[in-house]
Structure 1
Amino acid sequence: MTDVINYPSPEAEQATVIYAIGDIHGQLELLLKMEEQVKSDIEVTKPAHPVVCYLGDYIDRGPHSAGVIEYLQTATHKDGITRVFLKGNHEDRLIDFMADPEPYGASMLKYGGLELIQSYGLFVTEERDYNWHQLKDEFEKAIPASHHAFLRNLRPVFKWRNYLFVHAGLNPENPPEAQQTRDLMWIRDPFLESNKNWGFRVVHGHVIVPEPEFKPNRIDIDTGAFKNGVLSCLVVSENGLRVLQSRM
C-alpha cells in the first residue's frame, strides 16, 4: 500500500474549478458534445484556471474507443485546457491483457473488449476460440504509439481541495493514505454501502445511476453513456456544484 491519495499534483495547486466527466465507454459523439458544453461554460464563467478531469473507462462497450482515445490524447495540445486523465477498470483490464493475454482475454472480450478491438479495425467475435497471444500481438500493432502512451500515463486519483476524483471509490477498511490502487479502479459494494467520512467528498463513476447521485461522502456521476445515452459532468467550484449533460 502506498499513499496515492495525497500525491502532489501541480494541476490541483492552480485549479479554480474542476469539470469531472464520467465514464465515456467509446461514445465519441457524446464526448464531443460534452467537450463543447465545457468549453462554452468556461467562456461564459471565465474561471482563472479550469481543469477537466476524466474519471476513466474511456474504452469498451461503445463503438468508438479508438476515436475517444485519439481525441483525448490530442485535445490538450489543441485548445490549451488543462486535462487530467484517470484510469478506470476497463483500461486496467486492457493493460493486464497486453501484459499477459492468456488469463485476461476471455473476460476482456466479454466486458466490452470486442467493441474496443473492432474500433481499431480488427475483426473479432465472441463465437470462437482465440490464440490470445496472437490476438494481443495483432492488437498491439493496430494501436498507435500515442495511444499506448496515453494508457500508460493514466493516474489513479486526482485530489483538489475537499474533493477526491477517482474511478470506482475507496476501500472503507483502509485509511485514505493506505489504499490499494486496484480498489480505486474496481471496488464496488463496500464503498457504495459505506457512510465513512473520508475527510473529503469522493467523486466517482464505475456504477451506473439514472442521474448523478449525491451522498454526504460521495457523488456518482456515471449515468450510462453506452447504456442510457447520457454523459454527465460535475462542475466543482467555490460557487458550489453543477451538472452538465450531453445526450444522444
Structure 2
Amino acid sequence: MSELGIIGDIHGCLAQLQEVVSKAVSRVNELVFLGDYVNRGPDSSGVINYLLALQARPELTVHFLRGNHDAQLVDALTGDGLDMLLRMGGAATIRSYVAPPYAEVSSQLRNAVPASHLEFLTSLRDTFSQDGVTVVHDPAKVGPTDTYLVAGHSVQQSAVPMIGESRAYIDTGCGTIADGRLTCLFWPSRGWIQSESSCL
C-alpha cells in the first residue's frame, strides 16, 4: 500500500502550502486536503489557484474536503453570508480578490471570484476514506468509526499535531495563530512534516 499525504487547514497561506506540497510530493503521489482553504491568511485566491493547478497535474491524485470557512465563502457568493464571512476572517479573502476602493463589497466579490473557484468550492466533499483511515474536516461531524480518524478544524495551540492511537488532529494553526504551521500527516506511517515558517 502506498502512502497517503493528508494536509491540514491552510487559511489563505500560499507560501506555506507550496512548501509543504513540494516536500510531500517527493514522498507520495496522493494527497488529501482537509479544507479551510480561505480566510485569515493573505492569499486565499492564490491558494485556490494553486490547488486547481495541482488538480491538473497528471502524476498526482488529489482529494479536497470542505471546511466551514469554504462553505461560508460559498454562502457569501451565492446567498447572504457576507457578514458571517467577515466575522470569520473573510476580510483577508475579500482583499485577495477585490482591489480597493470597496463600495458594494458583496457584488464586487461575486464579480471578482472566477467561475472556476466557485466550481471548486461547490465540488468539495465532506469525508474521504481509504485503507483504514477516515479523513474529515470537523471531527464533531463524524460518528463512531472503526478506522483511524484524521481531522482538522480544532486548532492545536502548540502548533504541532496531536497524533494518538485512534485519531490525529492536524490543524496546527496555519493562518490562525501567531506561530502556526501547516502540517502534512502521512498514512499509514503517521509520520509528519510542517512548513518551516508561519503565515502571520
Output the TM-score relative to the length of structure 1.
Answer: 0.72
Deviation at 1:18, TM superposition (A): 1.1
In 2, Cα distance between the equivalents of 1:106 and 1:123?
A: 18
Q: Which one-letter code corresponds to 2:129 in the other structure? A: K
Matches within 5 A, 1:224-239: 224-226=173-175, 227=177, 228-237=179-188
- The corresponding residue for 1:117 is 94
- The corresponding residue for 1:35 is 21
Cα pair distance change 1:124/1:157, threshold 3 Å:
farther
Identity of aligned residues (%): 33
In 2, Cα distance between the equivalents of 1:170 and 1:218?
A: 13
Aligned residues: 193
Once the two structures are superposed, residues 80-130 of structure 1 have per-residue CA deviations (whole angstroms, 9 ceiling, x without a partner) of 2100000000011111222321xx3222112111000000133388xxxx8
- The corresponding residue for 1:190 is none
In 1, Cα distance between the equivalents of 2:167 and 2:99?
A: 39
In 2, Cα distance between the equivalents of 1:23 and 1:124?
A: 30
In 2, Cα distance between the equivalents of 1:170 and 1:216?
A: 18
Regions of 4+ moved over 3 Å: 122-125
Deviation at 1:146, TM superposition (A): 1.1
- The corresponding residue for 1:7 is none
Cα pair distance change 1:124/1:87, threshold 3 Å:
farther
Which consecutive unaligned segments of at least 5 residues does structure 1 have? 1-14, 43-49, 177-196
- The corresponding residue for 2:31 is 52
In 1, Cα distance between the equivalents of 2:125 and 2:168?
A: 19
Which consecutive unaligned segments of at least 5 residues does structure 2 have? none
- Could you say what secondary structure the match of 2:168 adopts? strand
For residue 204 of structure 1, the aligned residue among 151, 156, 178 is 151
Q: Is residue 167 of structure 2 the alignment partner of residue 218 of structure 1?
A: yes
Cα pair distance change 1:86/1:171, threshold 3 Å:
closer
Q: Which has the larger radius of gyration?
A: 1
Q: Is residue 141 of structure 2 the alignment partner of residue 155 of structure 1?
A: no
- The corresponding residue for 1:12 is none
Q: Does structure 1 conserve the Cα–Cα contact (< 8 Å) formed by 2:75 and 2:82?
A: no
Output the TM-score relative to the length of structure 2.
Answer: 0.89
In 1, Cα distance between the equivalents of 2:185 and 2:147?
A: 16
Cα pair distance change 1:18/1:138, threshold 3 Å:
same
Considering only aligned residues, what root-mean-square deviation do their CA atoms show, in Å? Answer: 1.9
- The corresponding residue for 2:135 is 165
Q: Does structure 1 conserve the Cα–Cα contact (< 8 Å) formed by 2:8 and 2:171?
A: yes
Deviation at 1:79, TM superposition (A): 5.3
- Could you say what secondary structure the match of 1:122 adopts? coil
Q: Which one-letter code corresponds to 1:153 in the other structure? A: S
In 2, Cα distance between the equivalents of 1:224 and 1:61?
A: 11
